[in-house]
Amino acid sequence: MADMPGFERILIANRGEIALRAIRVCHQLGVQAVAVYSTADAVSPHVWAADRAVCIGAPAAQSSYLAIAPLIHVALETGCDAIYPGYGFLAENADFAQQCAQHGIKFIGPSAETISVMGDKSKARELALAQGVPVVPGSDGAYLDVETALEVAAEVGFPMLLKARSGGGGRGMRVVCEFSEFAGAFAQATREAEAAFADGAVYIERFFPSVRHIEVQVLGDGKGGAVVFDERDCSVQRRHQKLIEESPSPAVGPDLRRRMLDAAAKLTRGICYEGAGTVEFILAVETGEFFFIEMNTRIQVEHPVTEMRSGIDLVRAQFDIAAGRPLPEHDVNRQPGGHAIEFRINAEDYRRDFLPTPGTLSRWRPPRGCGIRLDSAAFEGQHISPFYDSMIAKLIVHGSSRENALHKARDALKRFDCQGIATTIDFHRLLIDDEAFIGNAVHTRWIETEWSGNAAGEPPT
């Protein structure tokens, strides 16, 4: 008998470490887990960890993990009463959530309507304004034709940022510094947005050359109740892709934290959000101003740093909320606190402009120890596929302070023995000894414009 009311069997519509994590939560709750996999993932750990596994299609994501109809079919055929999407793939696909509802399957996440509205950045902006949350100055709508967009651009002013109305991850995004660049950048952004999200519309907002990326983890019960957690700083990025995340942000003081968390709570409660989500802001450090940029309606890759500091299992919370259980109690006076940092271990060669490096892991010896956590589905002898995201692990380090966490991180990264492919481990070893990173002088474009790391050299030993 399942421990979770209403759920007996759950389909895990994902792969890799997040699928493995979700399967473990299912088993903790006494619920059966059904995995799906592509032919490229036939020997992946999430396949053998599940109670049952079904091949969903060919290696290409469009033929497997992004194929809505086969996923619904497998869920129905295996008697699943819920689907867990994790992050990436279909996690923020409103049509998928709607299809689940139409077939009587619980989508573990927000409603299709919430995903659709918050996924439309212009509508999300309107909702944020309605809740009194500050937003980046910019256009009221999104545009497909350059002539109309040019008229709005003249009002917003340069420099500006073009952003895809749908999706994220830096796709469909362009910085425009002057009028003569606008038409070309707009065409590139719309083409990329159409290819990535089947929606070429982009909106325009004022661009701040030097900002921090701050996000707030939230949980909502779908009835207006919400829990918010201390912020995460995700400012170390490359081409809008996060590389390191930490909590709390070294750039956020008590008063600013209170205001940001209050804004995130207002939005979460105001839209009666259900499940785990992230309210994202940019922070102009010089002025202390912060602005809402978007809400991710799913669990984030970097959620473990919040788990390490709060002591709350956020994935389990997603399952509990979907089953109608109350939100977890979050007592800041009883949480572990301290400082947590997550390092994304990607199969990429940072010496060659972060070129993906698929291949075979000939040696895989992650570090262990107090305050060290590894979220991964990698194993020695595994072939890292070129078909999916290059992230193969997340190294999370927790310490009593930022200084203590960085000390542990240096030791952990030094002991991380990974051979067979190039990874970002050496990059992280260099990064955490950089004076700007240690001294809290980074921003979202720092890696691309200012990082002093010797990309051609070797990390310290």
Checking if the pLDDT of 1 tops 50, the result is no
Q: How confident is the model at residue 4 (pLDDT cuts 50, 70, 90)?
A: low
Q: How confident is the model at residue 228 (pLDDT cuts 50, 70, 90)?
A: very high
Pick the range with the lowest mean pLDDT from 97-111, 131-145, 364-378: 131-145
Mean predicted confidence (pLDDT) in 438-456: 82
What percent of the chain has a predicted confidence (pLDDT) above 70? 96
DSSP states of 358-403 = -EE-SEEE----TTEEEEE---TT-EE-SSS-SEEEEEEEEESSHH
Mean pLDDT for the chain overall: 93
Taking the alpha carbons at both ends of the chain, their separation in whole angstroms is: 53
- In the structure, what pLDDT confidence band is assigned to residue 342 with cuts at 50, 70 and 90? very high
Using the predicted structure, report yes or no on whether residue 22 has a pLDDT greater than 70.
yes
- Asked if the model's pLDDT at residue 396 lies above 60, the reply is yes
Region of poorest pLDDT, from 155-159, 266-270, 293-297, 311-315: 155-159
Q: Quick one: which of 233, 153, 240 has its CA closest to 196? A: 240
Q: How confident is the model at residue 265 (pLDDT cuts 50, 70, 90)?
A: very high
Pairing of strands 226-228, 212-221: antiparallel
pLDDT at 244: 98
Q: What is the pLDDT of residue 458?
A: 52
Residues designated as active site: 298
Q: Report the DSSP beta bridge partners of residue 393.
A: 345, 376
pLDDT at 394 over 50: yes
Domains parsed from the chain with CATH numbers: 9-108 (3.40.50.20), 137-206 (3.30.1490.20), 212-449 (3.30.470.20)
pLDDT digits (tens, 9 = 90+) for 266-290: 999 999 999 999 999 999 988 889 9
Instruction: Tell me if 15 sits within 8 A of 57, measured CB to CB.
Output: no
Is residue 111 over pLDDT 90?
Answer: yes
What integer pLDDT is reported at residue 191 of this predicted model? 92
For residue 3, the model assigns a pLDDT of 54
- The residue among 446 and 122 whose pLDDT is bigger is 446
d(CA 373, CA 308): 9
Flag the least confident range among 54-63, 255-264, 331-340, 362-371.
Answer: 331-340
CB count within 10 Å of CB 265 equals: 19
Q: What is the pLDDT of residue 456?
A: 44
Residue 461 has pLDDT above 50, yes or no: no
Say yes or no to pLDDT of 206 above 90. no
Query: pLDDT category, 120, cuts 50, 70, 90?
Result: confident
Average pLDDT over residues 193-209: 86
Q: State how far the Cα of 448 lies from the Cα of 385, in Å rounded to an integer.
A: 27
Q: Is 19 exposed, middle or buried (0-12, 13-18, 19+ CB in 10 A)?
A: buried
Beta-bridge mates of residue 135: 292
Res 455: pLDDT: 47
